[in-house]
Amino acid sequence: MAYKRQFYPGTTVPAVNRRRYLDPSQNLKKLREVAMDDVVRILGHRQPGEEYKSIHPPLEEANEPDCPIRQLVTPLEGAKKGDRVRYVQFTDSVYFAPISPYQRAWMYLSRYRGIDTGTLSGRQIIEMRERDLEVIAKEFIENETFDPALTGIRGATVHGHACRLDENGLMFDAWQRYEWDAKKGEVVYVKDQVALPLDKRISVGKPDSMENLKKRTTIFRADGVDMRDDKEVTMYGLRIHKLRTLAGFQPFAMKGE
């Protein structure tokens, strides 16, 4: 019997969204267009049109010894060229952002290779070869896992995901990397991800309505869809958390478990 990959249990909206985001066979919906040069400006690692910096010669020039792994694995373009490793970091609001940090990690590792990723309370970093990173960053700024108001591109001082939203529905950012353009009804970046001023204003589009965001989110909340409302998720997810919290590495020590 062929193995069928499983992604996440549950029948509620957040559970279904988690499964869809994690499944690499599912194409994520593109909601906006941001020029690649503007993505490069927001990342801040190089100037648009600038050559990629390298940390080793192109693989075809490196004369590395024969290795069976190299015959099995096709290198990414950045590895072929010897690119340095760079990063992008997204911050996701707790107020019904489309996705949350630890689900980003699952999604990245499920859909891509050649990446290193790390999770903190409100943000998720991706590190990979620079030219490959730019492609992925553009994809995730443009698709449904990003909302201009509730997702921030922040390489430093990322806090704000748990603060209340401002009068325009934007997530707090201590460095004010983006602002509300009242005339266009769009979110505009005025600083790059480490808060250095940009030489042009970069629009990332219109925020979605809270009604639609609740349909797109992977976040369980008591004022939205409660995790305890989903029997499958409770059976697997909450039970694991309960046993880990109450019994540590000895779940067998709990009666009835």
What are the tens digits of pLDDT across the range 2-29? Answer: 888 889 999 999 999 999 999 999 999 9
Same domain, 78 and 190: yes
Q: Look at residue 150 and tell me if it is in a domain.
A: yes
CA distance 7 to 4: 10
Same domain, 243 and 138: no
Q: Residue 114: left (phi > 0), alpha (psi -120 to 50), or beta? A: left
Q: Look at residue 7 and tell me if it is in a domain.
A: no
Count of the separate structural domains present in the chain? 2
pTM to 2 decimals?
0.90
Q: Look at residue 5 and tell me if it is in a domain.
A: no
Q: Look at residue 8 and tell me if it is in a domain.
A: no
Q: Look at residue 184 and tell me if it is in a domain.
A: yes
What pLDDT does residue 220 have?
Answer: 95
Q: Give the residue among 224, 243, 218 at the shortest CA–CA distance from 10.
A: 218
Same domain, 181 and 242: no
Greater model confidence, 117 or 246: 117
- The yes-or-no verdict on residue 249 having pLDDT over 80 is no
What pLDDT does residue 241 have?
Answer: 76
Same domain, 157 and 244: no
What is the rounded average pLDDT for all residues in the chain? 93
Same domain, 187 and 238: no
Same domain, 205 and 234: no
What pLDDT does residue 121 have?
Answer: 86
Overall average pLDDT of the 49-62 stretch: 93
Same domain, 89 and 191: yes
Say what percent of the chain tops pLDDT 70.
99
Candidate from 46-55, 155-164, 243-252 with smallest mean pLDDT: 243-252
- The yes-or-no verdict on residue 204 having pLDDT over 80 is yes
Same domain, 51 and 116: yes
Q: Look at residue 6 and tell me if it is in a domain.
A: no
Same domain, 250 and 219: no
Same domain, 147 and 252: no
The band of 257, judged by pLDDT with boundaries at 50, 70 and 90, is low
Same domain, 180 and 235: no
What pLDDT does residue 162 have?
Answer: 94
Q: Look at residue 183 and tell me if it is in a domain.
A: yes
Q: What is the span of the domain harbouring residue 242?
A: 226-257
What pLDDT does residue 4 have?
Answer: 86
- The yes-or-no verdict on residue 244 having pLDDT over 70 is yes
Same domain, 69 and 37: yes
Q: Look at residue 4 and tell me if it is in a domain.
A: no
The band of 134, judged by pLDDT with boundaries at 50, 70 and 90, is very high
Overall average pLDDT of the 199-203 stretch: 97
